Amino acid sequence: MSAAQARSAKAGDQVRVNYTGTFVDGTVFDSSEGNEPLEFTIGEGNVIAGFDQALIGMQPGETRQVEVPPDQAYGPHVPEMVAEVERKLIPDDHRLQIGGFLEVTLENGDELEVQVIELSAEKVTLDANHPLAGKMLHFEIELLDFV
């Protein structure tokens, strides 16, 4: 066994992982399957906190199942970040569909991506929460190796 395989992952380690993320009902929302493994440094904030923490103590070749609550993922769903706007305020060149995204410019000039969650002839309901906010997430994570 090489020295790299004998050690456990810790903050500051650059790692390569394969993963599958699912909701409570088993629906897959993200996966590295069919793609290059995810490569990042533990503790640098490049992935959600619960995913980062799950790797601590793992060794190459190990697979772990973890449940990540909203406060360790994308935060709670904030109702104040949902707004209903007049459909006529959205330019005609935007194809509106439920589940689609729009980029809006706030009064201070910042840009924000929002998701269309409801449509009617007169109104559009937009949600500025992350699409995974408020959700319990499940991950199967395989630590491939240290980089």
Find the CATH number of the domain harbouring 111: 2.40.10.330
Q: What does the block give as tokens for 9?
A: 């992952």
Containing H/E element for 122? Answer: none
Categorize the per-residue pLDDT at 105 as very low, low, confident or very high, splitting at 50, 70 and 90: confident
Q: What does the block give as tokens for 102?
A: 């729009």
Each residue of 18-68: pLDDT tens digit?
Answer: 999 999 999 999 999 999 999 999 999 999 999 999 999 999 999 999 999
Quote the pLDDT of residue 92.
78
Q: What does the block give as tokens for 135?
A: 């959700």
In whole angstroms, what is the distance from residue 87 CA to residue 97 CA?
12
Do residues 95 and 46 both lie within one domain? no
The CATH code of the domain that includes 14 is 3.10.50.40
Predicted TM-score (pTM) of this structure: 0.84
Count how many domains the chain has: 2
Do residues 46 and 108 both lie within one domain? no
Do residues 40 and 99 both lie within one domain? no
Quote the pLDDT of residue 111.
93
Do residues 10 and 38 both lie within one domain? yes
In whole angstroms, what is the distance from residue 79 CA to residue 101 CA?
18
Do residues 86 and 63 both lie within one domain? no
Each residue of 63-100: pLDDT tens digit?
Answer: 999 999 999 999 999 999 999 999 998 887 778 999 99
Do 59 and 10 meet the contact criterion of CB atoms below 8 Å apart?
A: no
- Residue 65's nearest CA partner among 7, 11, 15, 19 is 19
Do 14 and 55 meet the contact criterion of CB atoms below 8 Å apart?
A: no
The domain of 25 spans 3-74+133-146
Do residues 67 and 9 both lie within one domain? yes
Categorize the per-residue pLDDT at 5 as very low, low, confident or very high, splitting at 50, 70 and 90: very low
Quote the pLDDT of residue 2.
52
Q: CA of 142: how far to CAs of 40, 49, 54, in Å? A: 14, 17, 10
